[in-house]
Amino acid sequence: MANNQMPHNLEAEASILGCIIIDGDIQSELLETLKEDDFYQESNRLVYQAMQKVYGARKPVDVVTLTDMLEREGTLERAGGLQRVTELAEVTPSAANYRQYFEIVRRDAILRSLIRAAKGIIEVSTEGADAREAVAFAEKQVYDISKQEDNSQLAGLSDGVVVRQVLGKFEDIQADPNSFRGLETGFKHLDRITNGLQKSDLIVIAARPGMGKTSLAMNIVENVCLNKGKTAAVFSLEMPRSQIVQRLLCAHAEVSMEKALSGKLTQKEWKNLMIASDKLQKCKLYIDDSSRVSPAEILSKCRRLYASLGSLDLVMIDYIQLMGGTGSSKKVSNTYENRQQEVASITRDLKIMAKELDVPVIALSQLRRIQTKEPQLSDLRESGAIEQDADIVMFINRPDVTATAEDLAKKTVVKGAAELILAKHRNGALGRVQLRFIGESTKFVDVEDQNLPDEEPTHYVAPPEGYEDAFPDDDTGIPE
């Protein structure tokens, strides 16, 4: 093969076509797996195209039916004529080696696709495109080719393999209820209902503004990274990285953020902060605070993070309505219908991303500003597709946020009481989880785990010696 020629093997192409003609038992496997573009030579592509049409008409693929289809399509001569079709059957005396021929044809097709993708990447790069868009384009080209290797097909259950796998799973769970436990959130009652956050699930946490969506999500991230030593990627479209870290520090140290910001910390609280800061610097938490990011960009960054670390256990996105859809750099119409379509596309992409990365993805969502009742699925803002695509939808309900002073005085509403409502759970039961919100440290806790805050100090307490050394100037984020 000349160096300037695309990879191909005409003998393998002819042999695989011959196998299809002479062996009806392998026709369905090959004709449903191979694609027309897998063939390099035009005459072979035309023959294969005719084979697919004959097969689609539920007729046997042989020399007669194939020749007839090529004649009706007007492509018989371009395909090499009757002699060429007959030779295909004659040069392949046996179909025993069809898998080897198949591997050769697919290998060369993938190599040609990579070469074409590389040329496209070169063209985009030399045109002076935006760097981020160029990287996203390059990754998509290569990823699309890798997806071609996914040859999943309809499969029956007669062999019993899948059935035995499911029964084996049930047996393992019976022997050990935690054997298939997902990622623990740190909230015991929630974990009991969901059995932990499962891989490839899209979990939507929704609430009205000011209800604590970000706090709850970061409490889960805190448990995953600081308590369990797992890896998490946080995409904060609303809040800068410094504020995310500020919340995490105060929540994990169980220190009042208000007191920290007003310089009223006790010595004990400083000590707790130092311990929390040490754990935070050692944990595998990566934060991206880009103001507007698309699902494709998030997927790209998560792929790179996984490639560099070898692990990724959780992705959190705050929040859906601030995200941009595909081609977000272009002008998007502000009409309600178009925004609905964009959010629908975003949630669909997030679910696909969760499945590809094989990790739970937590995405926060706004609700409509309805104050007279507890939230429900119809309140999801801008798109019913959020409800459709999510595996779990949880609402935060905090009656004290909307309660009047009279309600609080009469104690008909308990201050800090919160309820997590599981309104959708694709693989389990619905339910309600009672929590308590500690506003001082922006932290949700199980009702029985709440801690009373320390009394406020009466004087200023300086930070301990060596405080600044605990916080290096450099920070590590998700790879750009």
Say yes or no to pLDDT of 474 above 60. Answer: no
Is there a domain that residue 152 lies in?
A: no
- Over residues 170-194, the mean pLDDT reads 78
Say yes or no to pLDDT of 420 above 80. Answer: yes
Give the confidence band of 366 by pLDDT, cuts at 50, 70, 90: confident
Say yes or no to pLDDT of 425 above 70. Answer: yes
Say yes or no to pLDDT of 315 above 90. Answer: yes
Q: Same domain, yes or no, for 250 and 295?
A: yes
Give the confidence band of 480 by pLDDT, cuts at 50, 70, 90: low
Give the confidence band of 454 by pLDDT, cuts at 50, 70, 90: very low
Residue 316, pLDDT score: 92
Per the CB < 8 A criterion, the answer to whether 463 and 249 are in contact is: no
Q: Same domain, yes or no, for 343 and 230?
A: yes
Nearest-angstrom CA–CA distance, 396 and 381: 15
Q: Could you say which of 123, 147, 171 is where a domain stops?
A: 147
Report the 10 Å Cβ neighbour count for 102.
20
In total, how many domains does the chain have?
A: 2
Q: Same domain, yes or no, for 122 and 192?
A: no
**Chain mean pLDDT for the chain:** 79
Is there a domain that residue 203 lies in?
A: yes
DSSP state of 455: P
* Residues 21-70 pLDDT 10s: 888 888 888 887 888 888 998 999 899 989 988 888 888 888 899 999 99
Q: Which of 232, 444, 255, 448 is nearest to 359 (CA)?
A: 232
**Helical residues (DSSP H) of 201-294, grouped into ranges:** 213-222, 241-253, 257-262, 267-282
Is there a domain that residue 40 lies in?
A: yes
- Over residues 444-451, the mean pLDDT reads 70
For the chain, counts of helices (H) and of strands (E): 18, 9
Say yes or no to pLDDT of 268 above 80. Answer: yes
The Cα diameter of the chain in Å comes to: 101
The three-state secondary structure class of 173 is: helix
Domain residues for the domain of 230 are 184-470
Distance of alpha carbon 252 from its chain centroid, rounded? 27
Per-residue buried b or exposed e for 355-381, using 16+ beta carbons within 10 Å of the residue's own CB: eebebbbbbbbbbeeeeeeebeeebbb
Say yes or no to pLDDT of 239 above 90. Answer: no
* Exposed / middle / buried, residue 273 (Cβ in 10 Å: 0-12, 13-18, 19+): buried
Say yes or no to pLDDT of 361 above 90. Answer: yes
State the CATH number of the domain containing residue 385.
3.40.50.300
Nearest-angstrom CA–CA distance, 418 and 219: 14
Element at 22 (helix H, strand E): helix 10-22
Q: Could you say which of 147, 168, 202 is where a domain stops?
A: 147
User: What's the sign of the alpha-carbon dihedral 413, 414, 416, 422?
Assistant: negative
Give the confidence band of 229 by pLDDT, cuts at 50, 70, 90: confident
Nearest-angstrom CA–CA distance, 480 and 293: 13
Selection from 173-182, 322-331, 341-350 with the highest mean pLDDT:
341-350
Give the confidence band of 381 by pLDDT, cuts at 50, 70, 90: low
* Residues 323-341 pLDDT 10s: 776 544 344 445 545 667 7
Say yes or no to pLDDT of 120 above 50. Answer: yes
Q: What contacts 292, CB < 8 A, 6 or more positions away?
A: 237, 322, 323, 324, 328
Say yes or no to pLDDT of 455 above 50. Answer: no
Distance of alpha carbon 398 from its chain centroid, rounded? 29
Q: Same domain, yes or no, for 243 and 143?
A: no
- In the chain, % of residues over pLDDT 70: 80
Is there a domain that residue 179 lies in?
A: no
State the CATH number of the domain containing residue 53.
1.10.860.10
- Select the more confidently predicted residue: 153 or 87: 87
- Over residues 413-423, the mean pLDDT reads 82
Residue 330, pLDDT score: 40
Is there a domain that residue 154 lies in?
A: no
* Residues 100-113 pLDDT 10s: 888 899 889 889 88
Q: Same domain, yes or no, for 124 and 264?
A: no
DSSP state of 116: H
Q: Same domain, yes or no, for 239 and 367?
A: yes
3-state helix, strand, coil in the chain (%, to 5): 50, 10, 35
Q: Same domain, yes or no, for 348 and 205?
A: yes
Q: Same domain, yes or no, for 142 and 189?
A: no
